[in-house]
């Protein structure tokens, strides 16, 4: 794929030629020059001859596609790595299969080892229920086991793990036979993760970042915080990323602040903002997303027609946090999924704007993670307050549609309103796409596909819009407008792909299409129609440095 001058290591100037370069600077570009950590030139291959003698490396693309590297705007890196290297139940089709996997995993571990697992989803199992504590105790052979639901907002655990957490049965969210939520869940998670050694953590982080690089992801936004990870985990990850051998990591620390001193502590941790998974509510799958109207299916222990989830923050708390962050010059942000939680957040941000000024709040580009159950009023508020919607189309692909988990939780009518990407874009709300890995896998092209072919057709967006939200959108979400695009002067973060023909694609025939006439100058993208193969990553480059390389097959 490439020719290297052995006297120049590492290469300083690279010419890529003979492919397709996805660039607004030249929609017909077939070549690109990179100098150091910046893109120097984009154009047609014929003009590239003038550069050939003065570069340190020539990459012969052989028809491959070059795009900006993806940014995954919501990742839990260590948890992703622990799933990649440990017990993963995301593919278990039945409760019985999940228990078999647990038995096999436990049998290979020493007695007394705390077992960590992830990914069960009882809504997809014919048994229709999670494993009982007795079943887990038997499968784990008496070992402590912490096993998160796919959304990571509830967990099932063994008796041996409960015995390691004093007072656990008195904590809110403890259920004798149902999954743990709330404070009880946080307590057992802290106890389980406290057993992860620095070596295990390093292995997990390396596995996650290596996987990301192999998928053309150049940047991840790490969503950490005191309720879901630890300061040691967070700072170790940022230190690893600073070595420059893998994807960039932009860190968010989910902790409420009330003063400039609090903001200084967030900065000292290396965080970009006090945002990410700062929980306004929980999740729909665990019945903890905060709703205006009750769930259609009552969770265990709740009377039908009365349960509306869990509110973790109120309007005044949101307002105080946003005001303090705005005045300190750092980003604020929240996890909010249910319609009531989103109302709380937008009302709180509005109150902060009344206190410190709308222009200052807008300029800060505060963000909301997930933002699933939006209404016309909250979409309008997002637009007016310049809130970034950090969204995960993989959620809709996994749980949307008339027969999906969302419909079971909310009823078909309410479920059909979830994740309205087209309405957000129409209102001018900036989108940043991500995975929430390990909740859904790192899969950037699959994420773009899910946004285009939304399970509710009216919410689908064009491939061009979704691709932009998954590349440039992540950079804009951190306040950078100069990146995530292949143009002279932009950071040299790009990926090379083996793929089929390029097309201009909209979600369905009712959506206004970009012209497919070449004279329109609209760069094409791979055909993401379900059933087609997704592009295959050949090389990922961050700041001009290759972090993943695979030869053309």
Determine, yes or no, domain membership for 525: no
Question: Which of helix, strand or coil describes residue 230?
Answer: coil
CA 459, CA 185: separation in Å to the nearest integer? 34
Strand partners, 548: 540
150 shares its domain with 209: no
27 shares its domain with 116: no
105 shares its domain with 29: no
Taking CA atoms, 242 is separated from 245, 409, 547, in Å, by 8, 42, 13
Tell me the pLDDT band of 505, cut-offs 50, 70 and 90.
confident
User: pLDDT, tens digit, for every residue of 348-397?
Assistant: 999 999 999 999 999 999 999 999 999 999 999 999 999 999 999 999 99
355 shares its domain with 233: yes
- Predicted confidence at residue 508, as pLDDT, reads 60
CA proximity to 119, closest of 146, 140, 88, 97: 88
294 shares its domain with 269: yes
- Residue 309 confidence (pLDDT) above 50: yes
Cβ 460 vs Cβ 511: under 8 Å: yes
CA 260, CA 534: separation in Å to the nearest integer? 46
Average pLDDT over residues 14-19: 97
Average pLDDT over residues 285-307: 84
- Residue 310 confidence (pLDDT) above 60: yes
Tell me the pLDDT band of 7, cut-offs 50, 70 and 90.
very low
Taking CA atoms, 120 is separated from 41, 101, 190, 438, in Å, by 48, 11, 20, 12
CA proximity to 290, closest of 341, 231, 214: 341
State the sign of the Cα–Cα–Cα–Cα dihedral 121, 105, 194, 443. negative
Determine, yes or no, domain membership for 516: no
The residue among 157, 175, 194 that closes a domain is 194
pTM of the full predicted structure? Answer: 0.92
> CA 434 from chain center: how many Å?
3
241 shares its domain with 255: yes
- Predicted confidence at residue 11, as pLDDT, reads 57
CATH of the domain at 353: 3.20.20.140
Phi–psi pair at 113, nearest 5 degrees: -65, 135
- Predicted confidence at residue 553, as pLDDT, reads 53
CA angle 245, 251, 255 (to 5 degrees): 155
Average pLDDT over residues 510-535: 72
CA proximity to 520, closest of 464, 473, 445, 469: 464
Determine, yes or no, domain membership for 53: yes
Segment of 116-120, 182-186, 224-228, 340-344 carrying the highest mean pLDDT: 340-344
Give me the percent of the chain exceeding a pLDDT of 70.
94
Determine, yes or no, domain membership for 345: yes
Domain extent at residue 356:
198-478
173 shares its domain with 321: no
Average pLDDT over residues 25-30: 93
Tell me the pLDDT band of 521, cut-offs 50, 70 and 90.
low
Q: How many domains does the chain have?
A: 3
Taking CA atoms, 103 is separated from 109, 111, 196, 505, in Å, by 10, 13, 21, 46
Higher pLDDT, 195 or 299: 195
Question: Which of helix, strand or coil describes residue 528?
Answer: coil
Strands (E), 36-95: 38-43, 57-60, 65-68, 70-75, 87-88
Tell me the pLDDT band of 179, cut-offs 50, 70 and 90.
very high
- Predicted confidence at residue 177, as pLDDT, reads 83
Determine, yes or no, domain membership for 527: no
User: pLDDT, tens digit, for every residue of 396-433?
Assistant: 999 999 999 999 999 999 999 999 999 999 999 999 99
The number of residues making up the chain comes to 553
Determine, yes or no, domain membership for 508: no
- Predicted confidence at residue 514, as pLDDT, reads 41
273 shares its domain with 353: yes
174 shares its domain with 212: no
133: CB partners within 8 A, 6+ apart? 156, 157, 158, 159, 176, 177
Tell me the pLDDT band of 522, cut-offs 50, 70 and 90.
confident
230 shares its domain with 300: yes
- Predicted confidence at residue 91, as pLDDT, reads 87
The residue among 141, 170, 194 that closes a domain is 194
- Predicted confidence at residue 523, as pLDDT, reads 85
- Residue 6 confidence (pLDDT) above 80: no
CATH of the domain at 37: 2.30.40.10
Strand partners, 391: 433
For 134-138, the CB contacts below 8 A with 24+ separation are 135/99, 136/102
Cβ 268 vs Cβ 248: under 8 Å: no
Average pLDDT over residues 205-216: 98
Higher pLDDT, 266 or 505: 266
Determine, yes or no, domain membership for 7: no
- Residue 516 confidence (pLDDT) above 50: no
CATH of the domain at 188: 3.10.310.70
Average pLDDT over residues 301-329: 91
CA 6, CA 17: separation in Å to the nearest integer? 20
Determine, yes or no, domain membership for 522: no
- Predicted confidence at residue 513, as pLDDT, reads 41
Higher pLDDT, 361 or 192: 361
Q: What is the mean pLDDT of the chain?
A: 92
CA proximity to 447, closest of 427, 419, 422, 467: 467
| Neighbour tally for 362: CB within 10 Å | 15
CA 393, CA 73: separation in Å to the nearest integer? 12
- Predicted confidence at residue 10, as pLDDT, reads 52
CA 468, CA 477: separation in Å to the nearest integer? 12
- Predicted confidence at residue 302, as pLDDT, reads 66
Higher pLDDT, 152 or 241: 241
Average pLDDT over residues 214-235: 96
- Predicted confidence at residue 306, as pLDDT, reads 84
Tell me the pLDDT band of 152, cut-offs 50, 70 and 90.
confident
The residue among 170, 194, 218 that closes a domain is 194
DSSP 204: H
153 shares its domain with 188: yes
> CA 458 from chain center: how many Å?
23
- Predicted confidence at residue 552, as pLDDT, reads 56
Question: Which of helix, strand or coil describes residue 432?
Answer: strand
Tell me the pLDDT band of 4, cut-offs 50, 70 and 90.
very low
404 shares its domain with 453: yes
């Amino acid at each position: 794929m490439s020719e290297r001058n052995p006297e120049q290591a590492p290469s300083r100037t690279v010419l890529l030629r003979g492919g397709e370069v996805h660039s607004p600077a030249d929609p017909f570009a077939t070549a690109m020059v990179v100098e150091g950590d910046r893109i120097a030139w984009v154009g047609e291959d014929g003009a590239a001859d003038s550069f050939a003698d003065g570069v340190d490396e020539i990459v012969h693309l052989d028809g491959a596609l070059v795009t900006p590297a993806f940014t995954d705007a919501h990742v839990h890196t260590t948890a992703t790595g622990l799933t990649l290297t440990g017990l993963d139940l995301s593919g278990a089709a039945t409760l019985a299969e999940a228990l078999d996997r647990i038995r096999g995993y436990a049998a290979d571990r020493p007695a007394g080892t705390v077992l960590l697992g992830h990914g069960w989803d009882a809504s997809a199992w014919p048994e229709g229920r999670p494993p009982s504590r007795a079943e887990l105790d038997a499968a784990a052979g008496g070992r402590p086991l912490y096993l998160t639901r796919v959304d990571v907002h509830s967990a099932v655990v063994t008796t041996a793990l409960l015995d390691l957490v004093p007072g656990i049965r008195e904590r809110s969210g403890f259920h004798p036979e149902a999954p743990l939520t709330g404070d009880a869940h946080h307590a057992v998670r802290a106890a389980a993760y406290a057993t992860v050694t620095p070596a295990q953590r390093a292995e997990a982080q390396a596995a996650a970042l290596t996987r990301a690089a192999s998928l053309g992801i150049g940047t991840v936004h790490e969503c950490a915080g005191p309720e879901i990870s630890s300061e040691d985990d967070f700072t170790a990850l940022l230190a690893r990323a600073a070595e420059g051998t893998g994807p960039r990591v932009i860190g968010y620390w989910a902790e409420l602040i009330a003063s400039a001193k609090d903001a200084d502590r967030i900065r000292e941790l290396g965080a970009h903002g006090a945002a990410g998974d700062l929980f306004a509510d929980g999740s729909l799958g665990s019945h903890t997303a905060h709703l205006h109207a009750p769930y259609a299916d009552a969770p265990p222990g709740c009377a039908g027609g009365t349960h509306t989830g869990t509110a973790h923050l109120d309007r005044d708390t949101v307002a105080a946090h946003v005001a303090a962050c705005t005045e300190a010059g750092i980003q604020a942000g929240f996890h909010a999924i249910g319609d009531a939680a989103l109302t709380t957040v937008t009302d709180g941000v509005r109150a902060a704007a009344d206190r410190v000024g709308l222009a200052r709040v807008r300029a800060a580009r505060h963000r909301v993670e997930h933002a699933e159950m939006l209404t016309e009023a909250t979409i309008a508020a997002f637009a007016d307050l310049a809130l970034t919607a950090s969204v995960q189309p993989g959620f809709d692909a996994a749980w949307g549609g008339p027969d999906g988990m969302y419909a079971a939780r909310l009823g078909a009518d309410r479920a059909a309103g979830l994740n309205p990407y087209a309405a957000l874009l129409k209102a001018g709300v900036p989108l940043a796409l991500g995975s929430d890995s390990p909740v859904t896998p790192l899969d950037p092209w699959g994420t773009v596909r899910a946004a285009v072919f939304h399970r509710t057709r009216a919410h689908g967006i064009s491939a061009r819009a979704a691709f932009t939200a998954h590349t440039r959108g992540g950079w804009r979400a951190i306040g950078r407008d100069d990146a995530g695009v292949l143009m002279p002067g932009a950071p040299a973060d790009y990926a090379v792909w083996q793929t089929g023909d390029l097309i201009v694609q909209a979600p369905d025939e009712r959506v206004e299409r970009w012209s497919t006439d070449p004279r329109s100058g609209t760069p094409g993208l791979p055909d993401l129609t379900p059933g087609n193969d997704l592009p295959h990553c050949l090389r990922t480059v961050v700041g001009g440095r290759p972090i993943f390389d695979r030869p053309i097959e």
